Amino acid sequence: MVIALLRTAFRLWPFLHGRGWILRLAKLLLGHRPIRFDIGGGTFIEGTLDDYVIVWTFMCRHERDEGFQHSLALLPRDGVAFDIGAHIGIWSLLAARCAPSARVHSFEPVPQQSQRLRAHAESNGIANITINRCAVGAENGSTSFYASYEENTGTSSLVRRRNDNVEIHVGVVTLDSYIAERGIARVDVMKVDVEGAEQLVFSGARQLLSSDDAPAIFFEADDRLGDTRTVKLLLAECGYGIYRRKRSKYVPVSPDEAHQDEDLFALKPRHVAQMHHP
């Protein structure tokens, strides 16, 4: 009941100012213990309010995030989605729930987070997610990876960014090889949140991204983490235009624009045409 009341307060409070007070109250009442709550459609996750990823969803910020919600709507009911940097599975779980006949392929290299994703899928009775405990990159193989276990577990990366990051060794797969090995005929949507490694992900997927059936892409752009201009130009070479979602419209983005913690869409002309003429 306490959890439900707090989350209702986050949903109904109309101003940015004041939500911090609600969060402080939530932490006071709930402490450091794991809490379980609904992130949408009867889909539950579990975690503590010490982790920014859990706080983000507990505060219902994903519900107000236009780009995040629209990316889920791009997946056809019987489509195929790739979630690169799936973490504990928030996007994967909602995509699989929204499109129950679809197949979601999730990629998460940090063992603890991959296990949590699997536990969430099982506890929610969601069977249409294929979980891959590996990173996605430009070449098949293995590499060092820097896991974050404090404050924001979603900031794990191929690059050490904090002194408390823990170095682990992970397998790496390219999307082109993954698709070929599994005989996947098409991919409709890709969500990519890899903390600055977008260029590596897209470099290993040139065959997919240059194909006639290339997917719509929802990805994070942040010049503090990587060279977003190079990423946008790589996608442009594969026939994509880059857009931000604003007030239910796609606004074109220049390759030279700078970005800080912004979510963008990469779309081909046929994607845009289909949205205007469903």
| Domain match, 53 and 189 both | no
C-alpha dist (Å) from residue 23 to 6, 13, 55, 153: 8, 12, 8, 19
| Domain match, 160 and 179 both | yes
Where does the pLDDT of residue 10 fall: very low under 50, low under 70, confident under 90, or very high at 90 and above? Answer: very high
| Domain match, 52 and 161 both | no
Number of domains in the chain: 2
Tokens 């590996």 correspond to 134
- CATH number at 180 reads 3.40.50.150
Residue 100 CB neighbour total at 10 angstroms = 11
| Domain match, 260 and 134 both | yes
Q: Which of 67-76, 78-87, 147-156, 187-196 is predicted with the least confidence, judged by mean pLDDT?
A: 147-156
Going by C-beta distance under 8 Å and a sequence separation of 6 or more, which residues neighbour residue 236?
242, 255
Question: Which is more confident, 244 or 151?
Answer: 244
Domain termination site, one of 14, 30, 62 = 62
Cα 261 from Cα 259, distance rounded (Å): 6
Q: Domain of 29?
A: 1-62
| Domain match, 33 and 86 both | no
What does the longest C-alpha to C-alpha distance in the chain come to? 53
Instruction: Report pLDDT for 278.
Output: 47
For 184-230, what is each residue's pLDDT tens digit? 999 999 999 999 999 999 999 999 999 989 999 999 999 999 899 99
Closest CA to 82 of 102, 58, 64: 102
pLDDT over 70 (residue 276): no
Q: How far is CA 145 from the centre of its chain?
A: 18
| Domain match, 46 and 125 both | no
Tokens 């004041």 correspond to 18
Going by C-beta distance under 8 Å and a sequence separation of 6 or more, which residues neighbour residue 183?
none
In the three-class reduction of DSSP (H, G, I as helix; E, B as strand; rest coil), residue 39 is classed as strand
| Domain match, 179 and 194 both | yes
